[in-house]
Amino acid sequence: MRYTETKERSAEILRLTLPLMAQHRAAYHPQTYTIWYEHVSGINPRLSSELEQRLARKESLSDDDVWRLHANFVIARDAEVLERMHQRLQNLLSDTATAASSAGVEASQFNQTLKLHKSQLTQPLAIDLITNIVAELITDTERMRTVTHELSEQLERSTQEARQLAEQLKQAEHQAKLDPLTGMLNRRGLEQRLKSFLEDAGSLQGGVMLLADIDHFKALNDTYGHLLGDKVIRSVAQLICDSIKGRDMAARIGGEEFAIFLPDTTLEGATVLAKRICAATASRSIRRIGTDQPVDRVTISIGVAASTQNDSLETLLDRADKAMYAGKKAGRNRVTQYEATADTAP
């Protein structure tokens, strides 16, 4: 969901949230802040009810507890919002169809009435019959005017609601394509971007896929904690995003795994870029949160695979993945071309 609190209000929520987070074992990662932010701001009643029960039992939340709460009450809530929007759209279409159908029946009856009166008027009639016909015409015309006015109002309401739904769905769709930790595309977002690319270009041929994986990430996470692990992921993501341009695409497709698709790029040119990213990562100093102490050097391994005429995202990623794991086996912190005879160190 999109948060709407002002800067002043969000600052007050931050002030109230930090002491609550400090009472528990869970690390200060984004998921932890999210659940306490939504609790303090009062925007997630179901989550607040669950948290209040745990607080009453004096339970200390672990990282696993936080992940479960985030999945059950934040991610699931957003999925329910999409389902409700889908239901609203169905109701909107149903109401509009009913109004249009009603107006259609009235219009058909009005048309039949006009034809009848026209037929009656083709022959001489007494003044009282003509008066009755005129009275019926006035009544039917007024009823038709009312029906068309109501239909017009219904269509106007439907148009406004449809516009609101379209905007909400657009925002939801956009957010669903992004990785919340890094702001990069996620796998779904990459798939959609490549689908659009394929529609325009006809194939992935002429491009190159890079698959990067942070070396020894689990050990780093276990040693320094999830919060520092998230910081490392964001740092590598930022470096990758700063290294690409134009139609290049970058996505976080797994926990510590990143994919970069470079259209209209030679294998040699992509390898040069991969080496630059690899070297820049190794030379970057990442410090522990709250201290000036640097962590062990962070490195990445990158697999490079050129695309072919018949490649899909899956087949191209698979080759880049094989090249990347070949580099892992050869010692990590290196760039490896698919089917290359030798690994190339950065």
Euclidean distance between CA atoms 330 and 188, whole angstroms: 31
Residue of 38, 106, 256, 257 marked active site:
256
Q: Which residues of 94-119 are buried (b: 16+ CB within 10 A; e: fewer)?
A: eebeebeeebeebeeebeebeeebee
H/E/C letters for each residue in 235-249? Answer: HHHHHHHHHCCCCCE
Euclidean distance between CA atoms 313 and 240, whole angstroms: 19
Give Cα separations from 160 to 93, 153, 156, 165 (angstroms): 13, 11, 6, 9
Q: Are 184 and 251 in contact (CB under 8 A)?
A: yes
5 in active site: no
Cα dihedral 334, 337, 338, 339 sign? negative
Query: What DSSP letter does each residue of 186-217 carry, written as one string?
Result: -HHHHHHHHHHHHHHHSSSTT-EEEEEEETTH
What are the tokens at 151? 């239909």
CA–chain centroid gap for 180, Å, is: 9
CA–chain centroid gap for 15, Å, is: 29
Q: Are 181 and 234 in contact (CB under 8 A)?
A: yes
Residues with a known catalytic role: 256
